[in-house]
């Protein structure tokens, strides 16, 4: 076998090696492309989740509102903040307390219809504790409150109210 014949025989082996290397590189390219696509899909999903979360409302410091409240009154200042910041905004009392304003039916509906597990009304309704007493309504846990509300709803049905009308009149006339 001469040198020329040996080169011809070596070509298929060399071509086979090139094909094997090409197959490895092609596999690596496919895997990298797939990985990049998966990462892009995950990023898009996370962006969608982040976009679905509502952002916190704008916060205004009470110190910037002192003079306007004195000169124009609190109602005028709240109206101005509503025009500037929209339906939801927060006033910070030196970072110690925050009061968030919800103005308009579109945001109030959300506040009153969400379950207590999402929106905690306790702080808002603490003023009712002296009215109803300790251990009633907003001075108790959510489950007890749900039972009390169910009892109140039943007691306030028109048929129940009619049946108690005489007692109510009697109690109000004697006080």
Taking the alpha carbons of 126, 130, 131, 135 in that order, is the dihedral positive or negative?
positive
What angle is formed at CA 131 by the lines to CA 125 and CA 135, rounded to 5 degrees?
Answer: 75
Residues 84-105: pLDDT tens digits?
Answer: 999 999 999 888 888 888 898 8
- From the number of C-beta atoms within 10 Å of its C-beta (0-12, 13-18, 19+), residue 88 rates as buried
Residue extents of the structural domains in the chain: 1-53, 55-113, 128-175
Residues 48-88: pLDDT tens digits?
Answer: 554 456 688 999 998 899 999 899 999 999 999 999 999 99
The model carries a pTM of 0.44
Which run of H or E residues covers position 61?
Answer: strand 59-61
pLDDT at 38 over 50: no
* pLDDT interval class at 46 (50, 70, 90): low
């Amino acid at each position: 076998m001469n040198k020329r014949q040996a080169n011809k025989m070596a070509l298929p082996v060399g071509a086979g090696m090139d094909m094997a290397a090409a197959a490895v590189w092609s596999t690596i390219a496919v895997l990298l492309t797939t990985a990049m696509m998966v990462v892009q899909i995950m990023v898009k999903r996370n962006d969608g989740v982040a976009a679905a979360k509502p952002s916190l409302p704008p916060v205004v410091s009470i110190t910037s509102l002192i003079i306007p409240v004195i000169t124009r009154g609190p109602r005028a200042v709240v109206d101005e903040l509503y025009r500037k910041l929209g339906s939801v905004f927060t006033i910070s009392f030196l970072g110690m307390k925050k009061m968030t304003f919800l103005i308009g039916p579109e945001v109030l509906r959300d506040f009153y219809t969400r379950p207590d597990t999402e929106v905690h009304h306790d702080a808002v309704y603490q003023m009712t504790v002296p009215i109803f007493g300790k251990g009633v309504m907003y001075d108790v846990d959510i489950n007890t409150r749900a039972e009390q509300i169910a009892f109140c709803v039943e007691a306030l049905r028109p048929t129940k109210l009619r049946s108690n009308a005489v007692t109510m009149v009697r109690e109000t006339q004697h006080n």
